[in-house]
């Protein structure tokens, strides 16, 4: 290794996603020298895409153009598609376009959606077609009417195990889960629900931006970590959950299934958390990012069991392989504690928050938090042009309908098999035996060197490594010596001597190479220890 401990410690303060740039540079250098391929398993961008709903999108776009030209057909110019009779015209066009990709799906989608949701056929088709032409601002700005009903049903399947709580969720379509999180943080502060210096809890290990955002001067939150350890199969223990009983903790933020351990909160732990909230902390706000939920069979989000306390965030990016589409949604139950908290603010603060929205609502004091989120996403003054772009909403709707029509969940089975197979392969390369639990999403893996070394070597080896190396040495060594990029676990508040590997973005076969390389790095530390001991030590 060329990197000294002092040099590596300069990187300790950086986000793992910034360190990765240096690792990629080192890995490329090694790959070039060794005439080998660089393997970047540091990002969670999947290498699969859902093709059928994309085919439907592009084919429907061709029909949309014919509708535009039907209204006005001048050189390079068309008109706004007309609603009356559009469903019948689509049906006729589909019959004439039988060989076009995506047509079979569109033929089945029409009667399915009309029957399931009671849609007026012309209104439903016109919303999709007008969205593809994108000749209007989003109306309603929060989410298109038909799209909201379709996504509501999709979330019932994906987030509620087909058993939603009573009532309904109000939805806000956003530019991916990233924008959703930014909007939520902004609006909680703008509406005095959270204030600078407040105490929040984070379910750790956790995606590094959740660690970094609270530290920003905009928030300056005090953070309590609710830790899920490998020894406890990455579930929150009773002692950790008890931290949430403190009334100083205003909100609990978590990713479920977690990132990087990739483990869903078990039904048993959910039951304990539900009991804690209902009996001791009915005022606790929960923000749950559930993007990986669709990789666990029968997944159930906290928004299903604690709907009144929970802000749910979901993104289609990983499941449908569409990170570039930026498709996310915020879900907030129609009966939620945040609206009640806003109504119960002290008069001076309620006056401030009311004044913020007085230009966009006749009754700004009664404006729901979900609608405040929309307004805040455009600095309130530009609320009239808020909303996710219409082509994005059309693709979101097609993705959702594609899954809802898949009665056998065959697509879900396919993507789950991809990542599960890669986990099996890396374990073979690592040469360790791990029992995969029922709540594991298989999307990421967290390889904890200290945990595994404790099982196989003397404690002296572990202490030697800690005394002579920086935790970042692992990922730098993998990059320099093996042209492999993984992210350091410590950047996610995972154990310092751990690395995160993504099972989403590389071909199956290379995961055995990654496993062997990680094993080689561990072996190198053990050999260094033995050399320092004059050849002694236990195997």
Q: How far is CA 402 from CA 406, 407, 409, 452, 472, in A?
A: 6, 10, 10, 42, 43
Give the up-direction half-sphere exposure of residue 86: CA atoms within 13 A in the CB hemisphere. Answer: 26
| Residue 63 CB neighbour total at 10 angstroms | 23
Indicate the class that CATH gives domain 52-136: mainly alpha
Q: Whole-prediction pTM value? A: 0.94
Q: Which stretches of 13-132 are assigned E, i.e. beta strand?
A: 39-40
- The partner residues of 289 in beta bridges, in order of sequence, read 255, 313
Residue-wise pLDDT for 97-122, tens only, equals: 999 999 999 999 999 999 999 999 99
The secondary structure of the chain in percent helix, strand, coil, rounded to multiples of 5, reads 50, 15, 35
The answer to whether the beta carbons of residues 54 and 101 sit under 8 Å apart is no
Residue-wise pLDDT for 374-398, tens only, equals: 999 999 999 999 999 999 999 999 9
Same fold for the domain at 5-44+410-532 and the one at 148-404? no
The domains of the chain are located at 5-44+410-532, 52-136, 148-404
Interatomic CA distance for residues 109 and 64, integer angstroms: 16
Q: Counting beta carbons within 10 angstroms of the beta carbon of residue 83, is it exposed (0 to 12), middle (13 to 18) or buried (19 or more)?
A: middle
Indicate the class that CATH gives domain 148-404: alpha beta
CATH topology (fold) of 5-44+410-532 = 3.90.1150
The answer to whether the beta carbons of residues 477 and 524 sit under 8 Å apart is yes
Lookup: tokens for 113: 């959606």
The per-residue pLDDT string of the chain (539 residues; one tens digit each, 9 = 90 and over) reads 445 677 787 787 788 888 888 999 999 998 998 888 999 999 899 999 999 999 999 999 999 999 999 999 999 999 999 999 999 999 999 999 999 999 999 999 999 999 999 999 999 999 999 999 999 999 999 999 999 999 999 999 999 999 999 999 999 999 999 999 999 999 999 999 999 999 999 999 999 989 999 999 999 999 999 999 989 999 999 999 999 999 999 999 999 999 999 999 999 999 999 999 999 999 999 999 999 999 999 999 999 999 999 999 999 999 999 999 999 999 999 999 999 999 999 999 999 999 999 999 999 999 999 999 999 999 999 999 999 999 999 999 999 999 999 999 999 999 999 999 999 999 999 998 888 888 999 999 999 988 888 888 888 899 999 999 999 999 999 999 999 999 999 989 999 999 999 999 999 999 999 999 999 999 999 999 999 988 644 43
Between strands 199-204 and 249-255, the pairing is: parallel
The sign one gets for the Cα dihedral 83, 87, 93, 97 is positive
Lookup: tokens for 164: 């939603």
């Amino acid at each position: 290794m060329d990197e000294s401990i002092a040099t590596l410690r300069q990187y300790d303060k950086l986000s793992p996603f910034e360190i990765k740039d240096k690792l990629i540079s080192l890995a490329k250098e090694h790959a070039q020298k060794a005439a080998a391929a660089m393997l970047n398993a540091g990002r969670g961008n999947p290498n699969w895409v859902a093709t059928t709903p994309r085919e439907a999108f592009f084919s429907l776009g061709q029909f949309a153009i014919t509708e535009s030209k039907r209204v006005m057909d001048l050189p390079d110019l068309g008109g706004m598609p007309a609603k009356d009779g559009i469903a019948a015209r689509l049906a006729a066009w589909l019959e004439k376009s039988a060989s076009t990709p995506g047509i079979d799906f569109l033929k089945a989608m029409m009667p399915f959606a009309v029957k399931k949701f009671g849609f007026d056929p012309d209104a439903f088709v016109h919303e999709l077609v007008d969205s593809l032409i994108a000749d209007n601002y989003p109306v309603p700005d929060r989410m298109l009417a038909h799209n909201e009903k379709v996504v509501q049903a999709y979330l019932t399947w994906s987030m509620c195990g087909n058993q939603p709580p009573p009532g309904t969720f109000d939805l806000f379509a956003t530019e991916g889960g990233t924008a959703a999180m930014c909007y939520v943080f902004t609006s909680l502060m703008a509406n005095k629900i959270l204030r600078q210096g407040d105490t929040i809890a984070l379910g750790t290990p956790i995606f590094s931006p959740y660690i970094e955002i609270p530290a920003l001067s905009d928030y300056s939150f005090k953070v309590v970590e609710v830790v899920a350890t490998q020894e406890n199969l990455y579930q929150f223990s009773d002692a950790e959950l008890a931290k949430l009983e403190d009334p100083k903790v205003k909100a609990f933020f978590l990713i479920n299934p977690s990132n990087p351990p990739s483990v869903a909160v078990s039904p048993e732990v959910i039951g304990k958390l539900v009991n804690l909230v209902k009996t001791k902390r009915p005022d606790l706000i929960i923000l749950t990012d559930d993007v990986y939920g669709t990789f666990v069979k029968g997944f159930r989000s906290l928004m299903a069991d604690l709907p009144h306390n929970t802000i749910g965030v979901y993104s289609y990016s990983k499941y449908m392989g569409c990170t570039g589409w930026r498709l996310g949604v915020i879900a907030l139950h129609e009966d939620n504690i945040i609206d009640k908290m806003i109504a119960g603010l002290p008069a001076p603060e309620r006056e401030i928050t009311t004044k913020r929205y007085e230009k966009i609502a006749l009754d700004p004091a009664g404006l729901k938090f979900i609608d405040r989120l929309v307004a805040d996403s455009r600095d309130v003054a530009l609320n009239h042009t808020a909303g996710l772009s219409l082509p994005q909403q059309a693709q979101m709707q097609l993705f959702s309908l594609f899954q809802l029509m898949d009665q056998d969940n065959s697509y879900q089975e396919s993507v789950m098999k991809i990542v599960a197979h890669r986990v099996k392969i890396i374990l073979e390369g690592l040469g360790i035996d791990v029992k995969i639990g029922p709540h594991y999403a298989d999307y990421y893996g967290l390889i904890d060197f200290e945990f595994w070394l404790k099982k196989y070597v003397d404690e002296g080896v572990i202490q030697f490594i800690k005394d002579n190396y920086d935790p970042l040495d692992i990922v730098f060594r993998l990059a320099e010596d093996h042209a492999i990029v993984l992210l350091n676990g410590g950047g996610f508040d995972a154990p310092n001597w751990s690395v995160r590997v993504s099972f989403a973005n590389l071909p199956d076969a290379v995961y055995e190479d990654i496993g062997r390389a990680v094993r080689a790095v561990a072996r190198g530390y053990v050999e260094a220890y033995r050399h320092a001991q004059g050849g002694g030590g236990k195997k």
